[in-house]
Amino acid sequence: MALIRLMARLTALCTILLLVSVAITGRASAVDKVVVQLRWDHQFQFAGYYAAKWQGFYKGADLDVEIRSAFGSDGKYRNVLKEVASGRAEFGTGGVDILKAIDDGSQLTIISTILQRSPVAFYARAGSGISGVADFVGKRVATRGAGSMATVELKAMMKAENIDASSITLAKIQSKLGLFDLANGDADVVSGFTTSAGWVARERGLNLTRIMPSNYGIDFYGGALFTTTSTVMAKTDLVQRFVSASLSGWRYAFEHPEEIADRIATTLVRKIPVADPVGYNRFQSKIMQDLALYPVVTLGNTNPGRWRKMHEALRDAGLVTGAFQEDDVIFDPVRHSEIQADRIEYVVLLIVGLAAIAAVAGWMITVHLSLAARKRSEHAIYEAMEEAKRASLAKTMLLANVSHELRTPLNPIIGFAEVMEREILGPMSNETYKSYVSDIRVSATHLLDLINDFLDVSRIEAGQVSLEEEEFQLVTTVRDAVRMMEYATKAGNIWMQVNAEPGLPLMIGDRRRVHQVLSNVLSNAVKFSEQGEQIEISVRRTQAGGIEVSVRDHGIGMSAETQAKIFDAFHTSQGSYVGNAEGVGLGLFISRSIMEMHNGSIEVASQLGVGTTISLLFPASRISATA
C-alpha cells in the first residue's frame, strides 16, 4: 500500500510539472497588444513600424501594435525613455541617450539597431561665423535637454576637441523645432536631425551651416529599438516576434519608399505641420536609407563592440560613470534561447526521471546508478558539442563584424577614387597619379568583393540568410547579369550569347540572390576563357518541369579531381586554370548554398582542354502557379 501511495504522489507531481513546463515554454495564441513610442512626430523616420503594421507583418506575428507619436493629443511632448521605463509603452526608439538612461538607473535593453549612423547635427545661421565646434565657445547652444541624444553627442564632441563644456551656455529648445529658436534669435546654435532640418530650413528660408559630430570622430549609432530588461527576460518570444516583424517592415519601406512616404503623409496627422507633407516624407526616405546603410548593411545589425565604444566616449566626457555590461545592455537572442532550452530540458528530464521511478520503484537504485554513469558521459559529449558550437559562432560573428567594419572605409575609398579617376572635379595632369588612382579603385573594389563573400559565408553558416521571395522572369535576370559583365568581357575580347526558350514562365524565388549566383558563375566563365572566345548561356525548361540555366565556356577545363572540390569553401584550384584568375574560392560555395535554399542544385561538367559547363537547376515547385 505504501508503494501504491508513493506512486500516486509521484504521478500527481509529474502532472503538475508537465503543466508548469507548458506554462514556461508555451505562449498564448491570443494576440499580444503592445505600444511603440516614437521619439518624434509621425514621419518617414519611423516608416518601418508603419509598414510592418500596414503590410500585416505585426498581425502575422500575433501582435496588435499601437504606434504613438511623441506628441499627445494635448500637444505635449512625451519623452520616449520615460514612457518605456515607466511601462506606458513596451518599445521605444532611441540612440546614445539609451546608454545615458541606463547609467542613470533605468532598466533598459537594446534589442535591435536600425540606423548605423546618427542623424544628430548642429545648425547655425550662415554668415554667423560659426563653422565648427570651437566656435561654440561663448555661444548659446540649445538642445532637447540634459539626457537627449544631441546633448550627449555635443559633450562627446567637445571632449574630443578638449573644449571645456562650461565655456558654452547650454539651453533647452523652447519651440517644437530647434530651427524656430534659431530663426527667432533665441539661440546661436541648435541641435537638429539631418532627417528634417534641411527641409524645414528650405520652408523657412533659412541659410544654415551644419556641424556634424562625425567630423570630430563621434560616429554613434542612430535609431535603435529598446525595451525594459524585465520585458526581455519575461517575454523573450514577444520581443523576438516584434523585432523580426519590424525589420520586415523596414525592408518593405526601403524597397517601396514612395508608397510608404505618401501613405504616411496622407493618413497620419502631425502635430507639427509641414507645407508639403508628401514631399517632406519622400525627402526623408532617401536620408533614412543612407543612415541605415541599406542594403549594404543587414537591417538590425548590432555590433556590441561599437556600443561599447559609444559608452567609452560618454565616460570620457563625464556623462556616464558605470561599467558597460554587454549582457544587460544588448539583447542576445542566442543566449536567451540557450537559457530557455536548458530550462525545458531540465523540466522534461525531471518529469521523465520521476515517471521512471514511479513505474520501476523496485529497480530504483540500479537505474539511478546506470543513469548517473550515462549522464556523465552524455554531459561530456554535450559540453564538447556546445564548446564547438560556441567556437563556430564566435568565428562567424568575428567574420561578420570585421567584414562590416572594413566595408565602412572601403566604400568612400572606392567612391573618391572613381571621382579622381573620372576627373569630375578637374583634370589630373600627372599620368602616374592617374595610374595610381586606377590601381587604388581596382584593388579596393576587389577587396570589397572578397569582404562581401566572407560576410555571405558567415551569414550562411549562422543560418541568418533567408529568401526574399517574389515572382520574376528568370531570363530577364540572366540578361541583367550578362550586362553587368560587359566591362570584363570587353577587356578580354570575350563574347556572351544568351539563348532562351520562348514562352518561359515566371518563377518564384529571391531574384537578388539568383542574380548573385549568375554573377558568380559568369565571372568564373570569363576568368577562365581565353581572348576572343565565346560563352554560351542557355535558359530552357527541363523534362521534370523546372527551369535550367547553363553557362558553357571554351576555356582550359578541369580534371575530375578538381570538379569534385570546386564547391568547397576556399577552394581555388590554383594551377588548374589560367594564371590571372583571382579570388579566395567562395563564389561557388555561396552559389551552391543559395541554390539549395531554392530546393535546386548546381552541377558542373568539364573536360581538360575543351571547356566547362555549369548548370543551375530550379525545380518545378519554383514555377509560378500564375504562369
Pick the CATH number of 32-112+226-324 from 3.30.70.380, 3.40.190.10, 3.40.718.10, 3.90.1150.170: 3.40.190.10
pLDDT at residue 66, as a whole number: 97
C-alpha cell of 462? 549562422
Query: Which pLDDT band holds residue 38 (cuts at 50, 70, 90)?
Result: very high
Beta strands in 478-610, from DSSP E residues, in sequence order: 495-500, 507-509, 534-541, 547-553, 601-607
| CATH top class, domain 120-216 | alpha beta
Quick: pLDDT tens for 439-494. 787 677 667 666 776 666 666 766 667 788 999 999 999 998 898 888 778 878 89
C-alpha cell of 114? 536600425
Query: Which pLDDT band holds residue 327 (cuts at 50, 70, 90)?
Result: confident
Q: In percent, how much of the chain has pLDDT > 90?
A: 40
C-alpha cell of 453? 563573400
> Are 224 and 98 in contact, with CB atoms under 8 Å apart?
yes
Domain 32-112+226-324 and domain 120-216 have a common topology: yes
Range in 210-214, 358-362, 429-433, 617-621 the model is least confident about: 358-362
Residue for cell digits 508608397? 259
Terminus-to-terminus CA distance in the chain, angstroms?
A: 72
- What is the Cα–Cα distance from 436 to 456, expressed in whole angstroms? 30
Range in 332-346, 504-518, 551-565 the model is least confident about: 332-346
pLDDT at residue 250, as a whole number: 96
Quick: pLDDT tens for 394-438. 555 655 566 556 666 777 787 777 778 778 778 877 888 777 877
Q: Which of 152-156, 369-373, 582-586 is modeled with the greatest confidence? A: 152-156
- What is the Cα–Cα distance from 139 to 187, expressed in whole angstroms? 8
**Cβ neighbours for 160, distance < 8 A, ≥ 6 positions apart:** 216, 217, 218, 313
Residue 494 CA to its chain's centroid (Å): 38
Distances (CA, A) of 463 to 401, 458, 466, 467, 567: 16, 9, 8, 11, 19
pLDDT at residue 390, as a whole number: 64
> Are 14 and 6 in contact, with CB atoms under 8 Å apart?
no
Residue 269 burial (C-beta neighbours within 10 Å; 0-12, 13-18, 19+): exposed
Quick: pLDDT tens for 573-606. 544 433 344 555 678 888 999 999 999 999 999 9
pLDDT at residue 148, as a whole number: 76
Instruction: Assign a CATH topology to domain 364-461.
Output: Helix Hairpins (1.10.287)
| Residue bearing the bigger pLDDT, 416 or 534 | 534
Amino acid at 588: L
| Residue bearing the bigger pLDDT, 408 or 496 | 496
Residue for cell digits 546654435? 189
> Is the peptide bond prior to 295 cis by the omega test (within 30 degrees of 0)?
yes
**Cβ neighbours for 479, distance < 8 A, ≥ 6 positions apart:** 498
- What is the Cα–Cα distance from 59 to 37, expressed in whole angstroms? 18
pLDDT at residue 577, as a whole number: 39
Range in 85-89, 192-196, 436-440 the model is least confident about: 436-440
Domain ranges of the chain: 32-112+226-324, 120-216, 364-461, 470-622
Mean pLDDT over each residue of the chain, to the nearest integer: 82
CA angle 349, 18, 231 (to 5 degrees): 95
Does the global pTM surpass 0.85? no
> Are 392 and 461 in contact, with CB atoms under 8 Å apart?
yes
| Residue (of 49, 215, 47, 226) closest to 120 by Cα position | 215
Quick: pLDDT tens for 251-299. 999 999 999 999 999 999 998 888 899 999 999 999 999 899 888 888 9
User: What is the 3-class SS of 74-104, one letter each residue?
Assistant: CCCECCHHHHHHCCCCCEEEECCHHHHHHHC
**Cβ neighbours for 145, distance < 8 A, ≥ 6 positions apart:** 151, 172
| Residue (of 129, 114, 309, 115) closest to 194 by Cα position | 115
Query: Which pLDDT band holds residue 564 (cuts at 50, 70, 90)?
Result: confident
Given CATH 3.40.220.10, say whether it is the number of domain 470-622.
no
- What is the Cα–Cα distance from 437 to 441, expressed in whole angstroms? 6
